[in-house]
Amino acid sequence: MRRERRGRLSSRTRFRLAFGIFLGSALAGLVLTGATAAGVAFESALGGGAVALVIGTVAGIAIESRIDRLATAIGRTRSRRAAVFAPFGAILAFVPISLVSTLPVVTTSVALWSTLGVGVAGWIVTTMAQTRHIDRVIDDEPVRSVRIRPRRRPYFDLAFLALTLGLFGMNAYDGRWTMAGVWAAVGVSWIVSRVLEGRIELEGVGDQLTLDIHDAGLVRRYPFSRSFVPWDEINHVRHQDGELVFDRHLVDTRFDRDELDDVHSVVESIERVAGVSVLRQSHR
């Protein structure tokens, strides 16, 4: 077991708080959106949402405290992690319904902003759950660990964020909060995805982008998360013109040319540890 640094919350305590906040935000979003859809005054709906937030947060903390290994249970499979986003889908459904029905206009904006909050909270919970599951499955040192150097396009990222920020500001200034919420969601999603992939470099976390080869499978370490691919989920491994591709059932895992520090040592380690033959191809 890994020891937590003194003065810091344990990983389970952090997950417990995150799960509580997620459940609270999901309940608050459902109450707030449902209340506005029913014609309740926004001020009253907001009060009900605040109460739901507190109740849901306390309930989530209590549930996690009572259920041992809840995080690893959620993080074990992709379907379980997807199930966490059920409230996200339920709230998001109000957006198209409100656009084609006689529901109050405010319902669309409330549903959109609630969806954004629940989505971020759900992503945090599933990311932490998957990381805790990986820590439980992988308890050995990696056979080989190499640095991942993802391609970064800072000027493109800045231009895209400036565009979304400008569109958000224009719509907010005109009072079109639904479209403002759309562009806020696009901007937040873009930032989160780029940080997750390590394509936006943050000081002090760049060295955490590694590909670790274990006896059980591959672990990709990102700044704030990890992903695990067991060997039995990989059908073939191809090394093609500097690109390393792991063929899986539905989604391939691939690394572009020069994205790995030492791709040849990775190939050799895979063949030794996994007992698979890496298909080497060249299109010269």
Q: What are phi and psi of 213, to 5 degrees?
A: -100, 120
pLDDT score recorded for residue 164: 93
Q: List the 144-147 sheet strands across, edge first.
A: 144-147, 210-213, 217-221, 226-230
Token pair belonging to 82: 């997807």
Closest CA to 222 of 79, 137, 90, 123: 123
Residues of the chain with pLDDT under 70: 1-8, 201-208, 281-284
**What are the residue boundaries of the structural domains of the chain, listed by start?**
11-137, 154-196, 226-281
pLDDT score recorded for residue 194: 80
pLDDT score recorded for residue 96: 84
Name residue 133's amino acid: H
Which residues touch 153 (CB under 8 Å, ≥6 apart)?
199
pLDDT, tens digit, 9 for 90 and up, residues 66-95: 998 899 999 988 899 999 999 888 888 888
Token pair belonging to 256: 């572009």
pLDDT score recorded for residue 106: 85
How many beta carbons lie within 10 A of that of residue 130, not counting itself?
23
pLDDT score recorded for residue 281: 65
Between β-strands 144-147 and 210-213, what pairing exists: parallel, antiparallel or unpaired?
antiparallel
How many beta carbons lie within 10 A of that of residue 73, not counting itself?
14
pLDDT score recorded for residue 125: 93
